Amino acid sequence: MQTNPASFLGIAAMMFVVGVSIPLMAALNGGLGRQIDSPYAATFLLFCFGLVLSFGLMMVNGGFPALAKFRGIPPYFYLGALVVVSYIASITWAGPRIGVGNAVFFVLLGQVVAAATVDHFGLLSAAQAAITPRRLLGIVVMALGVYLARKPV
């Protein structure tokens, strides 16, 4: 998959901002969960607000796709909802217990390993990119960085 350098930098910057927002979301939702004494209610509320916001984004960007587009989609593509709910619920629960930094660091480590695996095998229709010795070294260095950056519990 080829992307021109300007587009790549714009997308990379956007994803950096999203990455910055993840620990903020963990801290905010963890705080909400503590305030209402339920990380699961906080997760539910996050998704309620997210539903409204994503509906607005969808409407601004062309509305709901034609139903015909949903025919033939493998059911496993909808498992992303299970993944995001488990992530939000677990980070909301874990952040206040082990610290947002530790929780996010371990999520990051899992993401790096899973992303490399998905790319290597081209799983779930992802673009394929082999795990070369250089990429493997990068993963090991990132794992070491996560280990060094986490503070003792």
Tell me the per-residue pLDDT of 58-83, one tens digit each, with 9 for 90 and over: 999 999 999 999 999 999 989 999 99
Answer for the pair 32, 39: CB distance below 8 angstroms, yes or no.
Answer: no
Output the pLDDT for position 69.
Answer: 93
- pLDDT higher than 70, residue 5: yes
Tens-place pLDDT, residues 93-142: 999 998 888 888 888 888 888 999 999 999 988 889 999 999 999 989 98
More confident residue, 143 or 55: 55
- 34 Cα distance to chain centroid: 22
- pLDDT higher than 70, residue 152: no
Rounded CA gap, 74 and 80, in Å? 12
- pLDDT higher than 90, residue 90: yes
Output the pLDDT for position 153.
Answer: 58
Tens-place pLDDT, residues 22-48: 999 999 999 999 999 999 999 999 999
More confident residue, 58 or 148: 58
